[in-house]
Amino acid sequence: MEHHWQLHKAKLRSYLARHLNHDADTDDILQEVYIKAHTQWHTLKSQTSLSAWLHRIAYNTLMDHFRQSKPWDELPDSLESPDADETEMAHQQLSECLRPLMEELPEKYRVPLEMADLDGKNQQQVADELGLSLSGAKSRVQRGRILLKEKFTACCDIEVGRGGVTSFSPKKPGSQRC
């Protein structure tokens, strides 16, 4: 085992070092790989697959290391969440911005979209009021959403968080026709 280990040790160390920031971590994981390989030597089916077998152990050990480590700092308890009024104001500004963009949509998509998303009607009600089949109403609402999204993302930079859109701003003038 020792002879085989020495033949592959440099390659394994190089592989691990490419994925880790610290030499100490690399050495620790390399040592874990050696221990696992030594204790599992009896599971090796063929000497010809030794290199692949050792690399698989190194990969699995590296993944275990990443799963156990926390690459981020915990947020302090004193961190305040965004003010609800700011979020509400962003939503209000966003809705004022969406109305003109919706008005640019073709009527066959705009009307069902307004009924479903602004008036709060379910799609069966939209279908009944417009004389459409349910699948036709669903199709028009979905197509309207897609067209509106395309217009909106062409004109605005959007920031999305847990509560939906948290911030948006117009793109540079002249970058798109808005």
The predicted pLDDT at position 81 comes to 65
Query: By three-state DSSP, how is residue 106 classified?
Result: coil
pLDDT tier at 160, thresholds 50, 70, 90: confident
Kindly state the average pLDDT of the residues 58-83.
79
The predicted pLDDT at position 110 comes to 94
> Tokens 């190089």 label which residue?
14
Token pair, residue 28, equals: 């620790």
The predicted pLDDT at position 165 comes to 66
d(CA 171, CA 108) in angstroms, rounded, equals 28
Percent above pLDDT 90 for the chain: 29
Flag whether pLDDT at 177 surpasses 60: no
H helical segments located in 43-170: 50-68, 84-103, 107-113, 123-130, 134-155
Instruction: State the architecture of 84-170 in CATH terms.
Output: Orthogonal Bundle (1.10)
Domains of the chain, by residue range, sit at 2-40+52-63, 84-170
The predicted pLDDT at position 1 comes to 58
CB-CB neighbours of 36 under 10 Å: 16
The predicted pLDDT at position 44 comes to 78
d(CA 141, CA 145) in angstroms, rounded, equals 6
The predicted pLDDT at position 24 comes to 84
pTM of the prediction?
Answer: 0.46
Which pLDDT tens digit goes with each residue over 85-101?
666 776 676 667 777 88
